[in-house]
C-alpha cells in the first residue's frame, strides 16, 4: 500500500472501536522562532490526503509558534491497539470556512468557553474564568455563538508519516511513507 492516508483511515476506524477515550488525541510539537520546542495534546479534527487538522485560539503558544515557524510534528498512540502514527511537515492556517464549519459543530458550552478563555495567558483564578464564562453565556443568551476572530485552526501537511506496530521482543514493525512529488514512497525502518 502506498497511500498512507488509506492506512491511517483503517487504523483510526479500529481505534474508534477500541480506545476508551479520545482516539483522535495527538501530541503536537512546535518550535518557536528561536527553535525552542514545545509539545502538548490536541484533538485531531480532520485528516485526509490534505493533512491532519486541529483547531485552536490563534493567540495560544502553539499558534504563535506555528505562525513564527510553520513546521510541526505529531504523534498518535493507541495503547489498546499497540500502534502509533507519527508525522512531520509544513503547517498551514485553516481557511475561515473550515474554522467556521468546525466552530459551529462544537457544543454551545465549548463555543462559550472559547470566547471566555485567553488561552495560554496567565489567569488570576478559576473564579475569574468562571465569571467570564457566565458573562459570555449572558451576552449570547438565545443567540448563536459566533466564532471569535482569534479562533481558527491549522493543518499539518506531512512530508513523512510513520506507522509503528508493537511486536514481541521489541521486534516492532515500522513503515515509513515519504512524500515524493504528488505521491508517496514506502520503506521499512529497523525498530
Here the CATH number for the domain that contains residue 170 is 2.30.110.10
**Angle (nearest 5°) at CA 36 between 34 and 38:** 140
The structure's pTM equals: 0.91
Quick check: 94 and 153 in contact, CB under 8 A?
yes
Q: What's residue 43's pLDDT?
A: 97
- Whether 133 is covered by a domain: the verdict is no
Q: Is residue 117 part of a domain?
A: no
Domain annotation covers residue 179: yes
Separation CA 151–CA 30 (nearest Å): 18
Is 85 within 8 Å of 46 (Cβ atoms)? no
Please report the pLDDT score of residue 94 as a whole number. 96
Q: What is the DSSP letter of 131?
A: H
Question: Is 128 domain-assigned?
Answer: no
Which H or E element spans position 17?
helix 4-18
- Segments forming the whole domain that contains residue 61: 4-106+151-189
pLDDT at 120: 75
Q: How many domains does the chain have?
A: 1
> Do the domain assignments include residue 86?
yes
The reported pLDDT for the residue numbered 1 is 62
Angle at 33 between CA 30 and CA 34, to 5 degrees: 100
Q: Is residue 17 part of a domain?
A: yes
- H/E element holding 122? none
pLDDT in tens, the chain (191 residues): 679 999 999 999 999 999 989 999 999 999 999 999 999 999 999 999 999 999 999 999 999 999 999 999 999 999 999 999 999 999 999 999 999 999 999 999 999 998 888 777 788 889 888 888 999 899 999 999 999 999 999 999 999 999 999 988 888 999 999 999 889 999 999 99
Within a domain: 118: no
In a domain, 119, yes or no: no
pLDDT of residue 171: 86
Amino acid at each position: 500500500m502506498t497511500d498512507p492516508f488509506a492506512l491511517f483511515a483503517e487504523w483510526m476506524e479500529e481505534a474508534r472501536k477500541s480506545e476508551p477515550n479520545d482516539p483522535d488525541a495527538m501530541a503536537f510539537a512546535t518550535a518557536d522562532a528561536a527553535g525552542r520546542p514545545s509539545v502538548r495534546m490536541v484533538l485531531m479534527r480532520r485528516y485526509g490526503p490534505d493533512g491532519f487538522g486541529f483547531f485552536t485560539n490563534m493567540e495560544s503558544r502553539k499558534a504563535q509558534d506555528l505562525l513564527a515557524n510553520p513546521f510541526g510534528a505529531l504523534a498518535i498512540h493507541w495503547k489498546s491497539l499497540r500502534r502509533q502514527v507519527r508525522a512531520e511537515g509544513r503547517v498551514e492556517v485553516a481557511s475561515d470556512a473550515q474554522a467556521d464549519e468546525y466552530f459551529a459543530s462544537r457544543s454551545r458550552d465549548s463555543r462559550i468557553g472559547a470566547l471566555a478563555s485567553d488561552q495560554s495567558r496567565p489567569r488570576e483564578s478559576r473564579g475569574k474564568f468562571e465569571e467570564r464564562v457566565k458573562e459570555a453565556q449572558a451576552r449570547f443568551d438565545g443567540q448563536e455563538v459566533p466564532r471569535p476572530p482569534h479562533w481558527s485552526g491549522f493543518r499539518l501537511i506531512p512530508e513523512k508519516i510513520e506507522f509503528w506496530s508493537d511486536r514481541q521482543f521489541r521486534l516492532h514493525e515500522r513503515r515509513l511513507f515519504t512524500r515524493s512529488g504528488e505521491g508517496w514512497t514506502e520503506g521499512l525502518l529497523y525498530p
